Structure 1
Amino acid sequence: MRVGLITGGTSGIGLSFARALARDGADLVLVARDKGRLVAVAAELTAAHGVRVEVLDADLADRADQAKVADRLRAGDVDILVNNAGFSLKTPLVGGDDDLADRAYEVMGRAPRVLAGAAAAVMRERGEGWIINVASVSALTRQDSYSALKAYALALTEVLALELTNTGVQVTAVLPGWTRTEFHARGGSGRKGVPRFLWLDADRVAEVALADARAGHVISIPSKRYKVAAAILQLLPNAAVRAVSRRIKGKAKTPVEGATP
Structure 2
Amino acid sequence: MTATLDHQPIHSWLTDMDGVLVHEEAALPGAAEFIAALQQYGRPFLVLTNNSIFTPRDLRARLSRSGIDIPEESIWTSALATARFLAEQKPGAAAYVIGEAGLTSAMHEEGFILADSDVEFVVLGETRTYSFEAITRAIRLITGGAKFIATNPDVSGPSAEGPLPATGAVAAMITAATGIRPYYVGKPNPLMMRTALNRIGAHSETSIMIGDRMDTDVKSGLEAGMRSVLVLTGSTQEHELTKYPYRPTAVLDGIADVVPLVEQLTPHESVELDED
Same fold (TM over 0.5): no
Which structure: greater helix fraction? 1
Structure with the bigger RCO (C-alpha within 8 Å, sep 6+) is 2
Normalised by the length of structure 1, the TM-score is 0.37
Normalised by the length of structure 2, the TM-score is 0.36
